[in-house]
Structure 1
Amino acid sequence: MRFSIVQNARALLTRRSASQWRSTAHRSLSNAAAVANEQPSADLDRLERHRNIGISAHIDSGKTTLTERILFYTGRIGAIHEVKGKDGVGAKMDSMELEREKGITIASAATHTTWDGNTINIIDTPGHVDFTIEVERALRVLDGAILVLCGVSGVQSQSLTVDRQMKRYGVPRVTFINKLDRSGANPWKIIDQVQAKLGLRAAAVHIPIGLEDDLSGVIDIIHEEALYYDGPNGESVRKEPVPAEYQELLAEKRKLLIETLADVDEIIGDMFLMESPISTQDIHDAIRRATLEKSFSPVLMGSALKNTGVQTLLDGIVQYLPNPSERRNLALVQVMKEGSEDEVEEKQVTLASDSSESLVSLAFKLEESRYGQLTYVRIYQGTLKKGDYLINTRTRKKVKVPRLVRMHSNDMEEISESQAGDICAMFGLECASGDTFVSAEKPVSMSMESLFVPDAVMSLAVEPKKKSTSSANFTKALNRFCREDPTFRVHMDPESKQTIISGMGELHLQIYVERMLREYKVDLEVGAPRVNYRETITNRSNFNYTHKKQSGGAGQFAALQGYLEATKDGVSVEFKNALIGNNVPPGFLPAIEKGFREALAEGALTGHPVQGIRMVIEDGKTHPVDSNELAFRMASIQGFRQAFNNARPIVLEPVMRVDVEAPTEYQGTLIGGLSRRKGVIVNSTSTGEYGAIESEVPLGQMFGYSTELRSMTQGKGEYTMEYLQHRKLSDPSELIEVYREKKAAGRK
């Protein structure tokens, strides 16, 4: 008996019996939202039959194929089409021509469907790490998620990233092990990986009947019955007794499921200790409670391509994932500080998933369409109606909703209103991704929590080949892509006067270059990829700088004393006021900090931005006439540069986590290729015919790797690359020399 079960259960035994626990659990599941929010029963009934879910996974785990089956079995589409458009049509959720050509999801797509009387909003997200912002903003607004894992490859690098994103936004998930028809499939190994690599308690609720080519159905562990999927597309589910050869395995896995639940759920732990009978409903309730608490994930199994296990996954979505009223959604409200008449502070408030309350909604994704800007909106509270007037709490502007639609990939359905808990889209509103909209009738100064946006790691210099005819479309395309994708950045190099686009990787930028040609008819000249290096310091260094400028009349004077030091995490930048007395008036501190942050933009070694540094101001001097904000800003910049050069500065390069999958016969060649690119091999495994290599490689060494990989593996290998961290560049001499030559040329 597990110690945790016994310890928890003994405390509970003195207070409640098992029967009391069961009745309490039943009441809490059905009435929790009503008690918390005191909502009208009609609104509560609607919410209880509503799910907002996302499908997330590592690249090539079968997300889009799974979504296609879900839409088919729920009657949303009339025929199944395959990824890459092999049949000339392509999967419904990959509506972009580039997606169908490359066989990958580039932009997340939303749809809605119904299953067993329940409305389900689904967002299919990309698997490639270059488009990770699509996963971030989808999980930001969803209530639950499906983590899809390949039955052969299991937990991969992007699986870890998706897991971190789900934990960041507190999203409960069910796990679906897909591709059990593939050679080398082993679901039990994958469950072990989920527990070891993701740190998540998980247990199977299905057992596959056969594996690889022999996959014919699944066994429902909870109901103890075999399920077979008949018909041309597996649309008919047939229930049969469990085959004799699986009886022993069923008993073992059912016992393991109950024991795992007993570890994470007090109620089932109590019943388990007292050896009370545990019904199928008790198990379902325990799974739901533990899933909503994010302490457990039920593992369902099947093969989307072979039309196996998808209908039971739909049942699991409805049974185990939360409805909108069961998620705690927070917003920030500006209120007057207690005891003050003019000071404002922000406080967190909990929103009620109630359609009768004042409207609060979040714009989480933007798209440009032939009708104008399409804004995807999650409604957290209240009701949004066509023709309503809204307030954008960021800009304070009043706007009208001219059109309201429900999305089905790239198809639209006109609707008149959308209620709390729903996801819809609006036309004709100019806004940014992450803006909060509230009702103009009852406006409140409120904003939803911000979205995590990772830094760009790669840049390209681009310009139109035909400047005279393409410049307008070029500017229009860049503005659109920046609005739609927060990880896509554009700036003008002040020295070369080139337009620089930055993003999450080589593929990310290639896609945007290709989209400019296809959608805006702008053919670009693309310069060599540039790596986003950084600079930092390794020692503490003092500065004592006096800025003087006299040109007749009032001049400039400011003196600053302090030091620079590295921050603990090596990434963040901090400004600290350690002044004692009034040698530097407090009114100049904002100008000093502004100068410090300006100086961070260009390091002394290579001209790249500076990170991982803290500036501390200890003392200074002023002049009664000549001291002003400009003088202190200049003193801050020059003091920073003085100390930076004496603090043993170093150059940092972005290091990527690179995962390569290919047939095992090429594993030695691939390891050698990564080593030549200064890569460090972290792990190497093989499963049947395929092997996987985990490595860490400097980004500057990864250019052209996709071509090399195809050549080395005869087109059978694939890789994913994800930013890991910036590390010290061993030999920055070439970068330093290039920067010196550039500065010298600028002075001539």
Structure 2
Amino acid sequence: MGDKANAHPGAAGRAVTADQPASIRNVVLVGHSGSGKTTLVEALALTAGAVNRAGRVEEGGTVSDYDEIEHRQQRSVQLSLVPLEWGGYKINLLDTPGYADFVGELRAGLRAADAALFVVSAAQEADAIAGSCRMVWEECAAVGMPRAIVITHLDTARVDFDELTRVLARIFGGDDPDAILPLYVPVLGPQTPDGHAPATGLVGLLTQKIFDYSSGERKENPPDDAQVPLIEEARSRLIEGIIAESEDESLMDRYLGGDEIDLKTLIDDLEKAVARGTFHPVLAAAPAAPGAKQGMGTVELLELITRGFPTPLEREAPAVTTPEGDPRPKISCDPDGPLVAEVVKTSSDPYVGRISLVRVFSGTLRPDETVHVSGHGLADRGHEDHDVDERIGALSAPFGKQQRQLNRCIAGDIACVAKLSRAETGDTLSAKDNPLLMEPWTMPDPLLPLAIQAHSKADEDKLSQGLARLVAEDPTMRLEQNQDTHQVVLWCLGEAHMDVALERLRNRYGVQVDVVPHKVSLRETFADKAAGRGRHVKQSGGHGQYAICEIEVEPLPPGSGIEFVDKVVGGAVPRQFIPSVEKGVRAQAAKGVAAGYPLVDVRVTLVDGKAHSVDSSDAAFQTAGALALREAAADARINLLEPVAEVQVLVPDEYVGPVMSDLSGRRGRVVGTDQAGPGRTLVRADVPELEIGRYAVDLRSISHGTGRFDRRYARHEPMPPHVAEKIRERGGN
């Protein structure tokens, strides 16, 4: 790597195609928000010849033009694809949002890619890198994704590159910090008047060549005498790191014995270690200056991608089954194999309609063919399961807002598919005569509720369709129609996720909604035994209404529901009206007896009553049963019950104290802590759901973005009297 001085011709103005999987590289760019991922994509596109020097595609628009929300919010909010051509290879660059709220887009990018460029800004402090990047690094590690690290913003930050690489090795290296070492180091130019020495080029540590970008075009030079000693120490560490990862165990003995390891062997071993994901080289990059042909480090990155990153042939595909769940043989990346592709992203275009970003794992996808759509087990989030045939529309390669037509998409490649009206993110596309289903990737659980209602009657008519389209695009969002609170709730990953959902409803689907306070499902129960008499007697000509019943009410253990017992003797209440009393009692219990919340966990015993041979009826005894329950409640102490969640919080050890203190302040009870790997602790607590509505946001602040949590409903418990009184005073939670 690092021995090619000239850029290869690109593919501006035409669709980039691939003839075989070995010539494809699928690379996802990941990193913290503001690290420069999108700028780096544009710099790589310029170097590859896909855009002109102004950073614009030939037909107009920048390579990053993708979503109006991204332009307004000045940040990426969704996964985007930019295909490039470099030296006979097709490179699919997948740009992911860096903000934690859009981790679903990150995971979709990891599913579609075979390697990752981990982008880190030199302008960020070490603590901030640890906070914002560690979780993303772990996301990559969890799926075994090979990674290289790219340091950006060297042109604006006063940074010690060597120190920064040591920080990255400490943060990401774990037990093997020598697996994270620079492959190139910056060459600093003359100091500016303010004392800053900008980077003007790079030193290839293996080749010991200087790649000078100061003229706006990459030029190769030998190092001068003063630079050689500075290179040697870093070069020695790199060689030792490569040899440590080599499959040839004799290399280390030879090296320590004084043998000079030839450059080809070192590069071959480096490329293999990078592809295996056991070695993570560090590089540096900067965007092209105005008028420049290339940004610093972009040629080196493209060479690393094409020579060091794995091909789709080297990636083990996810397991497949039939739609009924029967296991099928493993699939391979073969263009002539059975069709197996996956929708990794769904979006809407105002002119084209729904567009599906699809990674083909096996077979070849062609326009206008009929495929089977299977998926995907997220019915709890408002996404229905699919098992249907659909005719796909055109295939295209996106480039900014443009769609360049393709005549096929082979195994290992990624393309956009039009007119898949039923398929959603995570669904599998396969041959209609051989339907298959891919094992899904894990979607993050949305834990921040957004309660909404239609702004007007016209919006109410469009709300259902707008919400359906919204959740079809985003499987990290969960739609809930709460039967207890009668609220429509969108569960999101964070406040930025909420903002995007509201803006898409408003601008993309034309639905105006109002945000309302989110309610939790409260309950009522009797604290003590009580008795009540329901008397419903009316006479107004003709048949009257006559029903009297007497009941006793006693509390039951949590989770018992409503139990109705008949202990009437002597026929005081005729047998045919006993079910009527029970029906009236249960109807009143559902409405509540004190604050308007459902009554639970009581036994209601019918002990006596009276009837009239002519005026008694089913309706009369239903009314009497309801009146009896209300009377019993009027003289009894009624407890409000609140839902309690079992919460598990995973944080670095240094944040355990603040997290436990915060949970206690939310009326939570910490029930235990467990060590969850090096430097990580799992805190377990029971917390009232009233207190954790915004915990997804608050935990991010407390832990500086390093914490995560999950929750599940545990039980309802009596609410403290002072909290219950506040609820009653304001008439709801």
| Paired residues of 1:58 and 1:156 also in contact (CA < 8 A) | no
After superposition, residues 99-138 of structure 1 pair within 5 angstroms as: 99-138=70-109
Q: Determine if the alignment matches structure 1 residue 61 to structure 2 residue 35.
A: yes
Distance 2:650 2:492 in 1: 14
The CA deviation string for residues 202-242 of structure 1, in whole angstroms up to 9 with x for no partner, is 111111112854211111111111111255xx3x2111122
In the other structure, the counterpart of 2:133 is 159
Give the Å deviation of 1:406: 1.8
Q: 1:736 to 1:290 in 2, by over 3 A?
A: farther
- More deviation, 265-274/211-220: 265-274
SS at match of 2:252: helix
Give the Å deviation of 1:371: 2.1
Distance 1:121 1:735 in 2: 57
SS at match of 2:138: helix
The CA deviation string for residues 374-404 of structure 1, in whole angstroms up to 9 with x for no partner, is 1111111111111222122343322222322
Q: 1:552 to 1:130 in 2, by over 3 A?
A: farther
Q: 1:651 to 1:246 in 2, by over 3 A?
A: same
The CA deviation string for residues 169-196 of structure 1, in whole angstroms up to 9 with x for no partner, is 2211111111112333233233223332
In the other structure, the counterpart of 2:497 is 508
Aligned residue among 384, 406, 409 for 1:418: 409
SS at match of 2:90: strand
Distance 1:258 1:704 in 2: 44
Q: How many residues align?
A: 548
In the other structure, the counterpart of 2:200 is 216
| AA matched with 2:450 | L
In the other structure, the counterpart of 1:6 is none
In the other structure, the counterpart of 1:287 is 270
In the other structure, the counterpart of 2:120 is 149
Q: 1:402 to 1:739 in 2, by over 3 A?
A: farther
Give the Å deviation of 1:46: 2.8
| AA matched with 1:436 | T
Aligned residue among 707, 711, 723 for 2:708: 723
| AA matched with 1:464 | A
Distance 1:69 1:677 in 2: 49
| Paired residues of 1:379 and 1:422 also in contact (CA < 8 A) | yes
Give the Å deviation of 1:677: 13
| AA matched with 2:212 | Y
| Paired residues of 1:653 and 1:699 also in contact (CA < 8 A) | no
Q: Determine if the alignment matches structure 1 residue 494 to structure 2 residue 487.
A: no
| AA matched with 1:357 | G
SS at match of 1:146: strand
Q: 1:700 to 1:277 in 2, by over 3 A?
A: same
After superposition, residues 454-469 of structure 1 pair within 5 angstroms as: 454-466=444-456, 468-469=457-458
After superposition, residues 434-583 of structure 1 pair within 5 angstroms as: 434-441=426-433, 443-444=434-435, 446-466=436-456, 468-528=457-517
Distance 1:425 1:530 in 2: 40
| AA matched with 1:723 | R
| Paired residues of 1:378 and 1:424 also in contact (CA < 8 A) | yes
Aligned residue among 285, 300, 305 for 1:317: 305
SS at match of 1:460: strand
Distance 2:182 2:363 in 1: 39
In the other structure, the counterpart of 1:432 is 424
In the other structure, the counterpart of 2:610 is none
Q: Determine if the alignment matches structure 1 residue 269 to structure 2 residue 252.
A: yes
Give the Å deviation of 1:733: 8.7
After superposition, residues 216-365 of structure 1 pair within 5 angstroms as: 216-231=200-215, 234=216, 236-267=217-248, 268-269=251-252, 271-273=254-256, 275-304=258-287, 307-334=295-322, 346-347=326-327, 349-365=329-345
| Paired residues of 2:62 and 2:400 also in contact (CA < 8 A) | no
Give the Å deviation of 1:121: 0.8
Distance 1:736 1:81 in 2: 64
Aligned residue among 391, 401, 411 for 2:372: 391
The CA deviation string for residues 66-86 of structure 1, in whole angstroms up to 9 with x for no partner, is 01111111111224459xxxx
Give me the TM-score of the superposition, normalised by structure 2: 0.66
| AA matched with 1:351 | I
In the other structure, the counterpart of 1:197 is 171
The CA deviation string for residues 540-587 of structure 1, in whole angstroms up to 9 with x for no partner, is x9999998889989x99xxxxxxxxxxxxxxxxxxxxxxxxxxxxxxx
| AA matched with 1:355 | P
- Structure with the largest fraction of helix: 1
| AA matched with 1:385 | R
Q: 1:738 to 1:473 in 2, by over 3 A?
A: farther
Provide structure 1 residue ranges, at least 5 long, that are not aligned to the other structure.
1-42, 83-88, 336-343, 534-540, 557-605, 608-644, 659-670, 680-695, 710-718
Give the Å deviation of 1:527: 2.2
| Paired residues of 1:129 and 1:721 also in contact (CA < 8 A) | no
| AA matched with 1:123 | L
| AA matched with 1:401 | I
Distance 1:411 1:218 in 2: 34
Distance 1:470 1:371 in 2: 24
Distance 1:331 1:147 in 2: 27
Give me the TM-score of the superposition, normalised by structure 1: 0.65
| Paired residues of 2:453 and 2:488 also in contact (CA < 8 A) | yes
Distance 1:422 1:256 in 2: 37
Q: 1:650 to 1:427 in 2, by over 3 A?
A: closer
Give the Å deviation of 1:274: 5.3
Distance 2:481 2:255 in 1: 66
Give the Å deviation of 1:144: 0.9
Q: 1:704 to 1:315 in 2, by over 3 A?
A: closer
| AA matched with 1:416 | N
Distance 1:530 1:315 in 2: 55
| Paired residues of 1:678 and 1:701 also in contact (CA < 8 A) | no
| Paired residues of 1:491 and 1:500 also in contact (CA < 8 A) | yes
Distance 1:242 1:552 in 2: 103
Q: 1:657 to 1:411 in 2, by over 3 A?
A: farther
Give the Å deviation of 1:736: 8.3
| Paired residues of 2:20 and 2:410 also in contact (CA < 8 A) | no
From the CA coordinates, give the structure whose radius of gyration is larger: 2
In the other structure, the counterpart of 1:25 is none
Distance 1:203 1:531 in 2: 51
In the other structure, the counterpart of 2:584 is none
| AA matched with 1:215 | A
The CA deviation string for residues 436-461 of structure 1, in whole angstroms up to 9 with x for no partner, is 121124x05x3222111111121122
| Paired residues of 1:172 and 1:293 also in contact (CA < 8 A) | yes
What fraction of aligned residue pairs are identical, expressed as a percent? 22
| AA matched with 1:469 | A
The CA deviation string for residues 460-508 of structure 1, in whole angstroms up to 9 with x for no partner, is 2212322x22223332321111011111122223244232121011111
Give the Å deviation of 1:427: 1.3
Q: Determine if the alignment matches structure 1 residue 177 to structure 2 residue 156.
A: no
